[in-house]
């Protein structure tokens, strides 16, 4: 069990580091949008890259924060029914839905994102939304890595629920 505990601690720490690190990307996103607005409306010289940078930074911020949110139990929930149960029953519910819903969905998303990242790298995929045509394979790789971290954090969270179940009477 000590190995599982160490694994859980390392994943939780990595989730926190990645989440906090990625939260700084919001500054880059704000600066790029402000620059675009200034160039477009003050100088009538819009940029070609602003839209692409916005969705790439925004998308990476979203997926790289998933594991941190899961680690801190900060997801939005509607606990109308489960809040009426005992803490022990709530943990059983958490374990059940993590095993039945979270793991299959996370594994499927990881499989799809891995396939897309591999394909994207193999053809040196470029975004075709604008005339700038930036490479998209880095973003696909970030999405794949983020979903893998989310899946690993889910494993650590499942272990934490299991531990709590042993402690709750």
Q: What pLDDT is attached to residue 82?
A: 84
The Cα–Cα gap between 74 and 71 comes to 8
Tens-digit pLDDT profile for residues 92-102: 999 999 999 99
Q: What pLDDT is attached to residue 141?
A: 97
φ/ψ region of 78 (left if φ > 0, alpha if ψ in -120 to 50, else beta) reads: beta
Model confidence, pTM:
0.91
Rounded to 5 degrees, φ, ψ at 79 are -100, 40
What does the H/E/C string look like for 129-148?
CCCCCCECHHHHHHHHHHHH
Tens-digit pLDDT profile for residues 96-136: 999 999 999 999 999 999 999 999 999 999 998 888 899 99
Please report the DSSP string for 102-117 in residue order.
IHHHHHHHHHHHHHHH
């Amino acid at each position: 069990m000590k190995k599982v505990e160490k694994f859980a601690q390392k994943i939780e720490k990595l989730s926190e580091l990645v989440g906090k690190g990625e939260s700084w990307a919001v500054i880059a996103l704000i600066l790029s949008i402000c620059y675009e607005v200034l160039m477009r409306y003050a100088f009538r010289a819009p940029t070609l890259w602003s839209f692409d940078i916005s969705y790439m930074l925004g998308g990476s911020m979203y997926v790289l924060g998933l594991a941190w949110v899961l680690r801190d139990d900060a997801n939005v929930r509607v606990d109308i029914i489960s809040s009426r149960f005992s803490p022990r029953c709530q943990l059983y519910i958490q374990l059940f839905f993590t095993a039945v819903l979270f793991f299959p969905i996370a594994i499927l998303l990881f499989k799809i994102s891995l396939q897309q990242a591999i394909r994207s790298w193999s053809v040196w995929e470029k975004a075709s939304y604008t005339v700038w045509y930036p490479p998209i394979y880095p973003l696909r790789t970030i999405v794949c890595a983020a979903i893998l971290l989310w899946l690993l954090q889910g494993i650590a969270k499942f272990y934490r629920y299991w531990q709590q179940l042993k402690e709750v009477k």
